[in-house]
Amino acid sequence: MNPFTSTRNATTPPANFTQAILSPAADSKGLYTLATLPTIDFRALLDSSYNDLCKAIFTHLKIEIDSSVLDAALHCYASFDDPNNPAPITQRENAYFLELYHGPTRAFKDMALCPFGSLFSSLAAAHNQRYLILTATSGDTGPATLAALASKPNVKVICLYPDGGTSQVQGLQMQTASAPNLKTLGIVGDFDTAQSLLKSLLNSQDFTDKIAQKGYKLSAANSVNFGRIAFQIIYYIWGYLTLVRQGAMKWGEKLAVSVPSGNFGNALGAFLAKCMGLPLGQIIIASNQNNILTELITSGVYDIAGRSLHKSISPAMDILKSSNVERVLFYLYGDTRTKELQESLESTSRYALSGDELEKLQEHFCAWWGDDTKAREMIRTAFDKGYILDPHTALAYGAHCAINPSQKTLVCATAEWSKFAPSVVEAIFGKRVDDKQAIQIMLDAGASIGAGITELFSKPKLHTQVLEKEQVEGAILQWL
């Protein structure tokens, strides 16, 4: 059974999970996604461990992987703060913070990329093939990809990040990566520049041929790769089941979800879980001042013509082209309409949904946005309640408070405060200090911090190149 199809051409031969992971560029420039979504009896999985839950869901999705390979991939959670509960929940009133940052790089991307890295390397080795993996990052995907694939056999990694567009800690996590199979390149521009470059390289036959001459095939670790999405579905199910086990929810009670959103992969995981029968209510899409997703969900218009990206204190959300919206379009409107909408976006920087299409979208999603001032306000509000938020989670909390604070809501806590310490300190104490000072202030205030963060400041920077986008292809080929 081959369960994967292209979002833009469902008539092409379907792909299996291995094909979709190793070669994520689908037909007609679409994205691989599940052709159909099963209905799952999640209640039967109520007492599963996290790893057993993942294996059960993969079985339902007809994702066929050798059990020893999947077990090895899931073993990565043994390095999380609590191996038996990699995504714990902290409650403040009706906000249930699903803490997705207890992995090695202290951000939610570890939840998917840790097992993905092991899985990808195992599949590449099984096929006796070397892969060049490209990733573009707005701050968290890059460090998590580098950590997950460091020194793994059969893979080399190129990480592209917008120079000056990440936090200092995020930048250091990438610039100090020391494994010989990793290369980090700063790009002049913003995340959309880096992501467009990644997509261009993935779809370039000339570039594919050039790296093939050097013995490599091409792949990607961004959420264009469904291997990432597959693991991001799991923690929403885990969150709901955890609340039922704890007695905070009755089975079948609707749970809202609030997700700080940039490239939409995290929110997509919630959407897919809901479509498969998890009792979720509205999926709240929280944005910063780059509120393109708010406009889409409230008006049905996706319009980036003439818009420029605004840098914010929540840089992972500084995105105008959200790749994974395409997969939602596919499930709601089908492949033909998805192709039409996406080609319109690519050619005119705009598309518009019909009234009926917007109604379908709003059955699942609602949206809210807040600027940096609002993010700081929510950080202070949470701190006063004894909880520390990063600027992204702060906006998800703000969305919950603004839309329906009486509704039980799973709020995605996507990063530890340490990755954005100066913004957190400014919000709480009104001081403007650098990262190192900010971390010390928070530690003095009783905050806990993930292992390895403070050591970043004394590590040598090994990757300091900053290139114009036109120089990147040559730099990659030279490195190979």
Nearest alpha-carbon partner for 35 in 226, 297, 211: 226
- At position 98, the amino acid (one-letter code) is L
Rounded Cα distance between 92 and 117, Å, is: 34
CB 130 within 8 A of CB 217: yes
- Residues 6 or more apart whose Cβ sits within 8 Å of residue 14: 2, 3, 4, 5, 35
What are the tens digits of pLDDT across the range 22-38? 988 898 999 999 999 99
Q: Does residue 333 sit within a domain? A: yes
What are the tens digits of pLDDT across the range 114-159? 999 999 999 999 999 999 999 998 888 999 999 999 999 999 999 9
Q: Does residue 416 sit within a domain? A: yes
Q: Does residue 145 sit within a domain? A: no
Rounded Cα distance between 466 and 472, Å, is: 9
- Residues 6 or more apart whose Cβ sits within 8 Å of residue 444: none
Average pLDDT value for the chain: 95
- Residues 6 or more apart whose Cβ sits within 8 Å of residue 73: 115, 116, 118, 119, 122
Rounded Cα distance between 337 and 351, Å, is: 11
Strand 182-187 relative to strand 280-287: parallel, antiparallel, unpaired? Answer: unpaired
Instruction: Return the percentage of the chain with pLDDT > 70, whole number.
Output: 100
What is the distance between the terminal CA atoms of the chain, rounded to a whole angstrom? 36
Rounded Cα distance between 412 and 257, Å, is: 8
What pLDDT, on the 0 to 100 scale, is given for residue 192? 84
User: What average pLDDT score do residues 261-283 get?
Assistant: 96
Higher pLDDT, 140 or 43: 43
Asked if the model's pLDDT at residue 385 lies above 90, the reply is yes
Q: Does residue 71 sit within a domain? A: no
Q: Does residue 134 sit within a domain? A: no
User: What average pLDDT score do residues 277-303 get?
Assistant: 97
Sheet of strand 89-92: strand arrangement: 89-92, 95-99, 409-413, 255-260, 280-287, 365-369
Asked if the model's pLDDT at residue 90 lies above 90, the reply is yes
- Residues 6 or more apart whose Cβ sits within 8 Å of residue 475: 185, 465, 467
The parent domain of residue 288 ranges over: 76-107+229-452
The pLDDT-based confidence of 203 (bands split at 50, 70, 90) is: confident
Which SS3 state, helix, strand or coil, does residue 46 take?
coil
User: What average pLDDT score do residues 192-217 get?
Assistant: 92
Q: Does residue 34 sit within a domain? A: no
Rounded Cα distance between 200 and 148, Å, is: 24
Rounded Cα distance between 292 and 372, Å, is: 16
What pLDDT, on the 0 to 100 scale, is given for residue 238? 98
Asked if the model's pLDDT at residue 262 lies above 90, the reply is no
The pLDDT-based confidence of 169 (bands split at 50, 70, 90) is: very high
What are the tens digits of pLDDT across the range 206-254? 999 999 999 999 998 888 899 999 999 999 999 999 999 999 999 999 9
Report the CATH number that the domain containing residue 331 is assigned in CATH: 3.40.50.1100
The pLDDT-based confidence of 408 (bands split at 50, 70, 90) is: very high
What pLDDT, on the 0 to 100 scale, is given for residue 263? 86
Q: What is the residue-wise DSSP string for 252-269?
A: T--EEEEEE-SSSHHHHH
What are the tens digits of pLDDT across the range 337-382? 999 999 999 999 999 999 999 999 999 999 999 999 999 999 999 9
CB 391 within 8 A of CB 313: yes
What pLDDT, on the 0 to 100 scale, is given for residue 199? 85
CB 435 within 8 A of CB 169: yes
Rounded Cα distance between 135 and 184, Å, is: 10
Strand 409-413 relative to strand 255-260: parallel, antiparallel, unpaired? Answer: parallel
DSSP-assigned letter for residue 83? T
Output the CA–CA distances (angstroms, integers) from residue 92 to 39, 383, 406, in the order listed.
Answer: 32, 11, 12
Instruction: Return the percentage of the chain with pLDDT > 90, whole number.
Output: 90
Task: Kindly state the tokens that stand for 79.
Answer: 């390095």
Q: Does residue 49 sit within a domain? A: no
> Cα dihedral sign for 236, 46, 104, 33?
negative
User: What average pLDDT score do residues 440-451 get?
Assistant: 95
Q: Does residue 121 sit within a domain? A: no
What pLDDT, on the 0 to 100 scale, is given for residue 51? 98
Which residue's structure tokens are 């379009």? Answer: 329
Structural domains counted in the chain: 1
